[in-house]
Structure 1
Amino acid sequence: MDVSFMYFIQQMLTNPALLVTTLLTLGVIFVNGWTDAPNAIATCVTTRCMRVRSAIIMAAVFNFLGVFIMTQLNASVASTISNMVDFGGNTHEALIALCAALFSIVVYSVAASMFGIPTSESHSLIAGLTGAAIAIQNGIGGVNMDEWVKVLYGLVASLAIGFAMGWVVCKLVTVVCAGLDRRRTNGFFKYAQIVGAAAMSFMHGAQDGQKFIGVLFLGMAFCSGQSSVAGVIIPVWLMLLCSTIMGLGTSVGGERIIKSVGQDMVRLEKFQGFSADLSSALCLLLMTVLGIPVSTTHTKTSAIMGVGAVKRLSAINFGVVKDMMLTWVFTFPGCGLISFVMAKLFMFVF
């Protein structure tokens, strides 16, 4: 399989399905950087450790580095996404179905926003790929359950481990700093939280960037007549392309999201913000190394809830938990069904 950049450009110019797949994938990566990445810096901004624009620039840089560096060190998340479904041996139909899966993410996201249903690009991607695979294989034989079960692990782990780590880290910080002067510790945690936000941005890129690298890589394989990417090394130029697009998306901003995550859920002090950033970054690192795709938004929000629980459970806005549950309830069947229908339609038309 030729994975050179020039071959990719040639194929894109001669294959409309690959061109559409590439544009849709890069578009979703851009939107992910725009809407998801601000979660990484939300606590840092709302505790006044950094100004919004400076934090966004920092997040863009570390999102870029996260995608690029982590994919070279450990591309297991990208492999999980690539191997999660089987589109069959007809690579022409497989490419069309992949295009339909990405298109369904756009359709679902727009429809969900109109009805006020919370969404997750990560879950939409997984649901879209699954629906398209079922459509092209006419059954669940298109789903690799050994890989798909990692998604189920991720749903539970992103909440349970994120919450537990948030509680433990914040409790340790509280005990260690109990007898120290608050003004001096605030000065330390101001800079510590900036480091934590940078780590969280890095891990956001490592998790979410790899998911979409896996999709684009799969599209390249289909175009080359291969039904899988097993044993093929992800090229550096693809890492650079996806990380750059995510960094550009992050640079657009997301001040409303920053306010929602950093202020509306739990009112945080600087040491609490540091605890939330560090614990969520550690949780994401663990999930990335294990090759388990998770929602970075859900991981961060569960860590913030764990931090809030150290003080008292009533400090948590449990409406956020309801939104996360609604995301699971609607996204997997909703986006999966749209993808199934779109894949059938696309294969009939094209």
Structure 2
Amino acid sequence: MADTDPKSWKTLNKDLDRISMLEQATALVSRPLVAPGIALAFMVLVGLSVGSFSGVSAVTAIVIAASVVGAYMALNIGANDVANNMGPAVGARAMTIGSALIVAAICETAGALLAGGDVVSTVSRGIISPESVAQPQIFIWAMFSALLAGALWINLATWIGAPVSTTHSIVGGVMGAGIAAAGFAAVNWPTMGAIVASWVISPVMGGVIAAAFLAFIKTKIIYTEDMLASARRWVPVLIGIMAGTFATYLALKGLKKLISVGFGPAVLLGLAIAIVTTFVMRPVIARQSRGLEPRKKSLKELFSIPLVLSAALLSFAHGANDVANAVGPLAAIVHAVQDGGSSDSVSIPIWVMLIGGAGLSVGLLLFGPKLINIVGNEITRLNAMRAYCVALSAAFTVIIASWLGLPVSSTHIAIGGIFGVGFFREWYHERVMGELRTDTTSTAEQRRRKKVVRRSHFTTILAAWLITVPAAASLSALLYWVFTSLWM
């Protein structure tokens, strides 16, 4: 019979194999489209929700469109910026990438909704003068162009694997739209000069502070006669410094909506918490260090929990502060549509904050792993001590910048800290330890691979930093010209 013919079975098996291979190929091809599809569905859901909430009419059509673009911006901030907070902890193996995504999503959303600023400057911290865009239509299209340009630029940067400043992206967008609307005289050039200065100040300050703490750990703990005894003495102090620094950081930057704390009281609060934490952690570290072998790998257990907590606190503060980059222009557009003009500052409605908070988390979960992997693993190798130095330098630098009144980027600080740790290790092992990491006999490619810091990422990130403001500004100006040509 035909159904028992071995040849028939062989033919059937071949056909089934072909179908199975086709299914696998289809799944492989479609897998990269899943995340963009979910992101698109999220933006559509935001548009439909705002449309049903506001009522669809000619007046609110721009609000619906701006809400979708605001959701798109929040997605990109979650995909790009949050990696700076979680990357070091993941690179140090203190957290898996899955747990990092969950912790970051919860803390980012909590920071945005609980402590996010309820008032935002409508012209992004004085980048352009309000009177130059006083007409409602001009102001609305300027903010819309700035928001879309910033989102597109961050999307491109995420795609090429470059962590960039979302603050600088939206600032560049506002500047470009302002120039297109009212000329170069509309721009507050002293403020822009301060932002340009922060390109250098932020990463250098973060790198120096991170390298200084790593130097302290190497000289006082790692390269001592009794590593564990040194760890029992100094690790509680380092954890206390971290606790005090983050208490000050959150008091200044992350809890402004809940309570207003001046710089002096914030520092005193941080100092008190640092002292208390140091004394509390001494018996804890002594207990944890029992039975550990005197080697660097043992120190990971002593730094892992503080490192996880620091990543969570950085994410909370980031959600509280940077959600305004996603929803600030959107809130300004809503205000202009409702009140018929621009203002020095506007309130952010709760539904706008929800878009920002949800977008940060969705963007992080869908697209965050790529940048987290680059920040945590591909720039330089991180362990618990090095990642601790990076996290601490990020909070420390923001506090110093707040004291000096400097506009700095948390992205630049964190990445600067990672580069600072890497370059310090190169210098320390070559000059202090006497390890020769370059030679004349190896090829150029072999010598490059022996370097602690990957130069390809260094040049890519540096180039992305330098062109962020002009690129976002140029794109925003082009978009403003297109929109006003079509609808004004």
Same fold (TM over 0.5): yes
The reply on whether 1:27 has 2:164 as its aligned counterpart is: no
CA contact (8 A) 1:98 1:132 kept: yes
Whole-Å separation in 2 of the counterparts to 1:80 and 1:93: 13
Whole-Å separation in 1 of the counterparts to 2:360 and 2:403: 21
Count of residues paired in the alignment: 342
Measure how far apart 1:95 and its partner are: 0.7
Whole-Å separation in 1 of the counterparts to 2:100 and 2:179: 42
Measure how far apart 1:136 and its partner are: 1.0
Whole-Å separation in 2 of the counterparts to 1:236 and 1:164: 40
1:61-100 alignment to 2 at 5 Å?
A: 61-72=106-117, 81=124, 83-85=126-128, 86=130, 88-100=133-145
1:1-350 alignment to 2 at 5 Å?
A: 9-10=53-54, 14-72=59-117, 81=124, 83-85=126-128, 86=130, 88-108=133-153, 116=160, 118=162, 120=164, 121-137=166-182, 139-178=183-222, 179-180=227-228, 181-182=294-295, 184-225=298-339, 227-230=341-344, 232-284=346-398, 287=401, 294-313=408-427, 314-350=451-487
Q: Partner of 1:224: helix, strand, or coil?
A: helix
Whole-Å separation in 2 of the counterparts to 1:117 and 1:131: 24
CA contact (8 A) 1:91 1:225 kept: no
CA contact (8 A) 2:72 2:151 kept: no
CA contact (8 A) 2:108 2:319 kept: yes
Amino acid at match of 1:342: L
Residue ranges of structure 2 left out of the alignment (5+ in a row): 1-49, 229-293, 428-450
Structural RMSD (CA): 3.3
Whole-Å separation in 1 of the counterparts to 2:335 and 2:149: 21
Measure how far apart 1:286 and its partner are: 5.1
Residue ranges of structure 1 left out of the alignment (5+ in a row): 1-5
CA contact (8 A) 2:79 2:371 kept: no
Measure how far apart 1:236 and its partner are: 4.7
Whole-Å separation in 2 of the counterparts to 1:272 and 1:346: 48
Distance 1:282 1:111, change over 3 A: closer
Question: Which deviations, in whole Å up to 9, do the C-alpha atoms of 1:26-68 show, x marking residues without a partner?
Answer: 2111121023212321121122211211111001112123334
Whole-Å separation in 1 of the counterparts to 2:78 and 2:127: 23
Distance 1:7 1:35, change over 3 A: closer
Whole-Å separation in 2 of the counterparts to 1:104 and 1:162: 28
TM-score by length of 1: 0.84
Whole-Å separation in 1 of the counterparts to 2:115 and 2:122: 13
Measure how far apart 1:79 and its partner are: 6.9
Question: Which deviations, in whole Å up to 9, do the C-alpha atoms of 1:227-259 show, x marking residues without a partner?
Answer: 444254444554344223212322325322222
Measure how far apart 1:161 and its partner are: 1.4
CA contact (8 A) 2:117 2:320 kept: no
Measure how far apart 1:132 and its partner are: 0.8
Percent identical residues = 22
Q: Partner of 2:87: helix, strand, or coil?
A: helix
Q: Partner of 1:259: helix, strand, or coil?
A: helix
Q: Partner of 1:81: helix, strand, or coil?
A: coil
Measure how far apart 1:163 and its partner are: 0.8
Q: Name the stretch that deviates more: 273-282 or 142-151.
A: 142-151
Amino acid at match of 2:458: V
Measure how far apart 1:276 and its partner are: 1.0
Whole-Å separation in 2 of the counterparts to 1:28 and 1:133: 19
Q: Partner of 1:312: helix, strand, or coil?
A: helix
Measure how far apart 1:146 and its partner are: 4.6
Amino acid at match of 2:453: I
Question: Which deviations, in whole Å up to 9, do the C-alpha atoms of 1:107-128 show, x marking residues without a partner?
Answer: 54566778x5947343332222
Q: Partner of 2:394: helix, strand, or coil?
A: helix
Question: Which deviations, in whole Å up to 9, do the C-alpha atoms of 1:48-107 show, x marking residues without a partner?
Answer: 21121111100111212333444349x68x677253224512112221222222333455
CA contact (8 A) 1:203 1:285 kept: no
Whole-Å separation in 1 of the counterparts to 2:56 and 2:186: 26
Larger Rg: 2
